[in-house]
Chain A
Amino acid sequence: MATDLRSARRAQNWGRLFIYGSLAAMAAFYLMPLWVMIVTSLKSLDEIYSGSFIGLPKAVTFDAWAKAWGTACIGTKCEGLKPYFVNSLVMVIPAVILSSGIGAINGYVLTKWRFKGSNIVFGMLLFGCFLPFQAVILPMAQVLGRLGLSGTIPGLVLVHTVYGIAFTTLFFRNYFITIPDELTKAAQIDGAGFFRIFFSIMLPAALPIIVVSCIWQFTQIWNDFLFGVSFTAGDSTPVTVALNNIVNVTMGRKQYNVDMASAMIAAIPTLVVYVVAGRYFVRGLTAGAVKG
């Protein structure tokens, strides 16, 4: 009896070891590129060309980071990623706020103030989620041209807002549908109007899905390359396009350390957003399933 138990426990331990071992191996494999990026960005160019990619730097130097941020040349200008990073911020903040805000109101109307044909409207909005980027580029360019927003950051904000509404509406609609309609009725009897109900009752209750919508939109818009490269040029390009220009357009030796540092700089905001709010993201995505 006792030996049975012991051997069972030993088998279990081996099983555990196998599971954790393979998980660790896969994690390491997955993290390898990040590792290479970090160590490469901390090496001098000479060291990179003389040694291996994977090893630790002999002398840690932040020169590449400084150069990527402030002095790397993009086209004829040598100001680093900084102005383009600012461009991306100026683009992403209003676009996230606008698309999430409009999505929230859409979701609220589609669930609590249903009208004839509201389901059809919702269905058509959903279509936007499945529309490939390439399909909208040409018509979008024409619209931006007519509006006089071609090649500008406000134009890009408009594009991302419009494109994001399909997703944010879906998020908020599916969240608000779990909130009982009686809540709206009670508020109406209390004397609250359309916007009062929205701001005082629905939005505070929707915090998890607001976080989801903002994270989703932030990463989508920040990481977008296609719209950025299609609708902006020169000084108004977002950081993703600038990164491409740094990496792909070099004179002389390829500056791997600067490339890596630039890529990391461009990726930092989305990483920060996930680390800070990732918990809420998962909670928000599953919020509909566990109703209090």
Chain B
Amino acid sequence: MKFSVEKVVGGGRLGTILPSGPHGSTALETPMCTLYTRGGSAPHLGVDMLKRVSNVPDIAAMSLGSLAPHHENIRDFGKGIGEFAALKSSLIFTTLHDASAAVTSGKNDRNGVAVWGKGGKFKMDPSLFVKVQEALRPDWFQALSDGDTDKHTAKKRLAKAVNNTLDFLDGILELTKNNKILKDASLIGAIEGGFDEEERKRSAKETAARPVHGFLIEGFEKGHSGVDLFSIDSFTKLLEKTVSFLPEDKPRIMETVWSPLQIVKAFNLGIDVFSSSYPYLLTERGQALVADYTIPSSSPAARLENKGSPNGALSTTSGFYVNLKDKCYFEDFSPVLTECDCYCCATFTRSYIHHLLNTSELLAYVLLMIHNFHQYFHFFNCLRRSAREGTLEDLQASLEAQMNSKPSSET
């Protein structure tokens, strides 16, 4: 892949990624998110339903836990995971772990890394890892890495994580030299080091010295922990530092579950590519994303009118989402978000979705996934526009005001 920065805004970059290989004409504009998938599919959505979502990212992130155990069958299929999972026209980014879940700790060592699927643990050394990638034929692939660290991890373990990860990377580079199947696949190096500045620096510099096409920064939490990393004092500074050791001409990726406000903050620190697991997690909880990205944002009164139900139902609304399981939506015949033009909002009411949640119907999650994806993908359009037009500070201020508009805490 080829990454070019068009404009630097604060610490953030407006850029373009030109993939290698058959999808070479698909220019990806950053900041961007990937399509979050489970088992190779958008959560709850078959391809005919995914078509009803607009602005779907051109690249899907697929974690290995649920797919790697099937690699021999996928190899025999012969056309890669994209076509296997009926996402033929999509670019594929294989990552190690499901972005929405915690990772079972303590299973990695210098010989390999464990990923987790329905069937349990699947441990890979670099050689098996490369076999899996040859079967899946991704456009981008995250190198095998030991990210099983967080802010409580001791320095010795952090050093080991960095070493293991670099060793895996070297092993993979060696194994994929002159590899015909993976010749167009872009290897993404993982940056580790937990909350230790020295280890972060070492990991960044050493990884950047190797022929990788981009960087995935992880190891701040063991998979998804539910903790807002920005609430940890040292995080912002540490991320800034880490990024400063990375070259300008390669994209930086983070798979963290982040709300729009957290995305803006991370973008400002120089992150280019994000996961879309946040809308998935809202969906699983029966919540609908209703954040406002217009600049200047609508007045609080106008938003209340837009979002509120007849009985003034904002009790379970954080600034960014409403909880449609709440009884106050029982008789609310307005769409989830009046100004939203997604399939769900154009067709159904809050009352109906409340009923579907109340009766545990599958359709509740189908409809919320459509809405939440639509809104999150729309947000990235707004983020790029805002960065281009120089209104990023206003966007961040507006999102902060929305978040603080309600006592309940944000994820």
Chains A and B bind each other: no
Measuring CB to CB, which residues of chain A are less than 8 angstroms from any residue of chain B?
none
Measuring CB to CB, which residues of chain B are less than 8 angstroms from any residue of chain A?
none
